[in-house]
Structures are given as C-alpha cells and as structure tokens.
Amino acid sequence: MNRRALRTRRRGRQLAVQMVSCRMTNAVSAGEAAAQVAALTRASERNLAAARPLADAAWKSRERIERLLAETARPYWVEHMGQVERCVLHVAVAELLLGATPPRVVLTEAVELARRFSGDQATPFVHAVLDAAARRIGGIAAEVPLPDRPLEPAAR
C-alpha cells in the first residue's frame, strides 16, 4: 500500500472516531454527523469516504461492541471510560470485526488515536482493552457488513 493510501486510511480512522462521537453526543443521523465533521475539519472527500463505512460499521454494531467492552474491561473501567476512549475503541473493534485490517495495525492505530485525542494517559488503557477484545474476537471477521454505497452527507 502506498503512503497516500496509508495516510487516507489513518485520516479516515480519525474522522470515523469524530463521527461516532458526534452521533453519541448529539443523537444525529450518519449523514448529519458526516456533514458536521466535514464542516469542522475541512476534510477531503477522499478522507471522508474512508471514514464513513468505518463509522457506520461502528455505529451499527455499538450494542455488540459495548457488550464486548464490558466482557473484556474491568467494570470500573467501563463505568469511568471517557467518551473519546469509548469512541476510539468502538471504531477499532468495528475494524477488527470487519477483518480487513490486521489486528496489530488496528491496535497501533487505535493507540495513536487515543494519544492524539485524549493524551498519553489514555494509551495504556486503550491498548489493554483493545488487546483483550482482539483476543476474544479471534477469527471472527466480516460480521459487520459494509454499506453498499458511501453514505451521503446531509443537505444543508
């Protein structure tokens, strides 16, 4: 994979975390979240196209991901988990469930997202929980279907 594609995927993950956070906080549709994130970040259409399917997969499987997080994290951690960490974990677990990206890559990218959005203190927590979740998922892949087409931003 070339550098441009890697940058696009990394930026797509960042935007997906922001989209999931927007939906959790504001209870908006996928299109509205994408439009809000696009307006705030001035992201390119290429990066938004990389983010939308991942954010959609994380949102569609949020109940399953919450159960998985509750099974793999200590109860105190789940109760006191910050929203940023929760969103990073949701996107990362969705990417693991999709099975298209090696677990080590997902783990490394999630730790970097936690560092970027929440600070160094969040990285050990995200690493520990995601590592346990990845081990529990094991060979499960492609359980969360990608949408047939990219989601359209909401009209303003």
Q: Check residue 58 and give its pLDDT.
A: 93
Domains and CATH numbers, the chain: 3-137 (1.10.940.10)
Q: What are the structure tokens assigned to 97, written together?
A: 């469930």
- Token look-up 């081990």 returns 135
Q: Check residue 76 and give its pLDDT.
A: 65
Q: Check residue 145 and give its pLDDT.
A: 40
Which has the closest alpha carbon to 52: 37, 66, 72, 67? 37
SS3 category, 146: coil
Q: Check residue 81 and give its pLDDT.
A: 83
Per-residue pLDDT in tens (0 to 9) along the chain, 156 residues: 688 888 889 899 999 999 999 998 888 888 888 888 988 999 899 999 999 999 999 999 999 999 998 888 777 677 778 899 999 999 999 999 998 888 999 999 999 999 999 988 888 889 989 998 998 887 444 343 434 444 333 343
CA-CA distance, 24 to 19, in Å (whole number)?
A: 9
Q: Check residue 77 and give its pLDDT.
A: 72
Stated pTM of the model: 0.82
Positive or negative CA dihedral for 33, 37, 42, 46? negative
- Cβ atoms of 43 and 15 within 8 Å: the answer is yes
